[in-house]
């Protein structure tokens, strides 16, 4: 009974978190093939568009994030998701070493850029 209550509480928490996420999808099902402001400003809660103003050809600067990596500043567009085990729980640093290795190997199977190394 306690396990079901825990699962139910986690499900409710996950649903609340999903509802709080920002939505960038369009209200319509139509796809827009050309680059312009018209399709972007029609999107629900369009954050990066303003009426009559186009984004620069290189893309909006807010998508990029500058981080310090190996003593250098690098620009990234997204971060890797947290590592989770086969049951869906996040891995803590005090977990079993074998369990951590299994979760990391499972995460590298799903990541297409796992074998790319940016160090020289």
116 falls within a domain: no
The range of the structural domain enclosing residue 24 comes to 1-49+59-79
* pLDDT per residue as tens digits for the range 54-94: 666 666 666 778 889 888 898 888 787 788 877 778 887 77
32: nearest Cα among 20, 23, 41: 41
95 falls within a domain: yes
* pLDDT per residue as tens digits for the range 5-35: 999 999 999 888 877 765 555 555 555 444 5
Domains identified in the chain, total number:
2
Phi and psi of 110, rounded to 5°? -85, -20
Q: Give this prediction's pTM.
A: 0.37
User: Are 66 and 91 within one domain?
Assistant: no
C-alpha radius of gyration, the chain, whole number: 20
CA distances to 5, 13, 16, 22 from 19, in Å: 21, 10, 5, 8
23 falls within a domain: yes
């Amino acid at each position: 009974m306690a396990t079901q209550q825990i699962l139910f509480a986690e499900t409710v928490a996950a649903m609340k978190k999903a509802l709080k996420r920002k939505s960038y999808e369009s209200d319509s099902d139509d796809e827009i093939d050309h680059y312009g402001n018209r399709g972007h400003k029609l999107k629900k809660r369009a954050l990066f568009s303003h009426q009559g103003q186009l984004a620069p050809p290189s893309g909006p600067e807010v998508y990029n994030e500058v981080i310090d990596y190996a003593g250098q500043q690098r620009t990234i567009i997204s971060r890797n998701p947290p590592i989770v085990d086969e049951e869906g729980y996040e891995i803590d640093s005090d977990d079993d070493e074998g369990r951590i290795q299994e979760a990391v190997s499972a995460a590298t199977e799903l990541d297409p850029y796992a074998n790319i190394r940016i160090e020289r």
